[in-house]
């Protein structure tokens, strides 16, 4: 996908429904997002819930927006609008996806949310966006949904500039895809090896977190205490995430 590509027939959203859940596709069997019809703000897919694992390290920003690259079915946007007071900066290159979210996936209009129809590479590279979002969630896939369409060192360095002095980047990867090792190498290069990941889930997704700002040293007790707070406040399985992340601990400390 070039930075100025226009949507084709393959990029047009298609829908399916099963067991009270509506799914987003792009004329393939690959699921690009989901919404529980009876509870639109719920994070149905496990990997979308894991994308919120940054809450273990940062509270939702009040003075700066949360950034979302790739709208999908709008799951993260709906969740953040309901459960945080943060503004949202969303980058989605395909206007048809935005229209589908508004029409079929109950993405509400909100003065707290700006949607930019632009290639994510162009948006993160814009000097005006440097330091804009201390949290940036990246989920950029094409119709085949196997490897990210933006994954270079230059892209991840630009994401780091968007985070500013301190922040967390969260990226959805596929552990079983040939692009996985390249992405980890590129993230490590862009973030000085300050990268940790959650275990692969059944669908193959692996959520990776990368950190900017002053080095952090977190004790297991601190991480588990924060996880208990996140789980109670947001209804997310944060304690399970915390126990998994402690596998990265060195001599009893998690260094980030």
Mean pLDDT of 49-54: 98
**pLDDT at position 71:** 96
Q: In this prediction, what percent of the chain has a pLDDT beyond 70? A: 93
The pLDDT of residue 199 is: 92
Residue of higher predicted confidence among 26 and 47: 47
Domains delineated in the chain? 9-214 (3.40.50.150)
Average pLDDT, the chain: 92
The predicted pLDDT at position 233 comes to 98
* C-alpha atoms less than 13 angstroms from C-alpha of 102 in its C-beta half-sphere: 9
| SS3 call for 97 | helix
Q: Which long-range contacts (CB under 8 A, 24 or more apart) does 157-160 make?
A: 157/190, 158/121, 158/124, 158/125, 159/124, 159/190, 160/190, 160/191, 160/210, 160/212
- Mean pLDDT for 96-111 is 96
Instruction: For residue 21, list its beta bridge partners.
Output: 18, 36
pLDDT for residue 79 is more than 60? yes
Give 197's strand partners.
208
> What's the pLDDT score for residue 3?
44
How far lies 171's CA from each of 6, 25, 47, 128, 232, in Å? 24, 20, 10, 22, 24
Average pLDDT of span 69-88: 97
pLDDT of 47 higher than 60: yes
pTM, rounded to two decimals? 0.93
What pLDDT, on the 0 to 100 scale, is given for residue 82?
97
Lowest mean pLDDT among 56-70, 141-155, 158-172, 204-218: 141-155
CA 198 vs. chain centroid, Å, equals: 13
The pLDDT value given to residue 100: 96
Percent of the chain past pLDDT 90, that is, above it, reads 82
- At residue 100, φ and ψ (nearest 5 deg) are -65, -40
């Amino acid at each position: 996908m070039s930075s100025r590509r226009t949507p084709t027939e393959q990029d047009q959203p298609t829908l399916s429904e099963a067991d009270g859940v509506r799914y987003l596709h792009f004329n393939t069997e690959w699921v690009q997002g989901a919404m529980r019809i009876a509870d639109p703000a719920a994070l149905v897919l496990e990997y979308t819930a894991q994308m919120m694992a940054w809450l273990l390290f940062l509270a939702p920003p009040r003075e700066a927006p949360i950034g979302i690259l790739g709208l999908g079915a709008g799951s993260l946007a709906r969740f953040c609008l309901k459960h945080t007071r943060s503004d949202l900066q969303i980058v989605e290159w395909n206007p048809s996806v935005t229209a589908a979210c508004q029409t079929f996936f109950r993405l509400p209009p909100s003065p707290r949310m700006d949607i930019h129809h632009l290639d994510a590479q162009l948006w993160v590279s814009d000097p005006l966006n440097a330091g804009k979002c201390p949290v940036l969630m990246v989920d950029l896939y094409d119709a085949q949904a196997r490897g990210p369409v933006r994954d270079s060192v230059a892209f991840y360095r630009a994401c780091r500039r968007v985070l500013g002095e301190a922040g967390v980047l969260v990226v959805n990867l596929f552990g079983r895809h040939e692009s996985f090792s390249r992405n980890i190498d590129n993230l490590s290069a862009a973030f000085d090896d300050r990268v940790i990941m959650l275990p692969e889930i059944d669908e193959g997704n692996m959520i990776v977190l990368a950190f900017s700002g002053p080095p952090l040293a977190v004790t297991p007790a601190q991480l588990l205490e924060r996880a208990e707070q996140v789980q109670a406040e947001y209804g997310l399985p944060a304690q399970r995430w915390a126990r998994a992340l402690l596998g990265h601990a060195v001599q009893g400390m998690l260094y980030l």
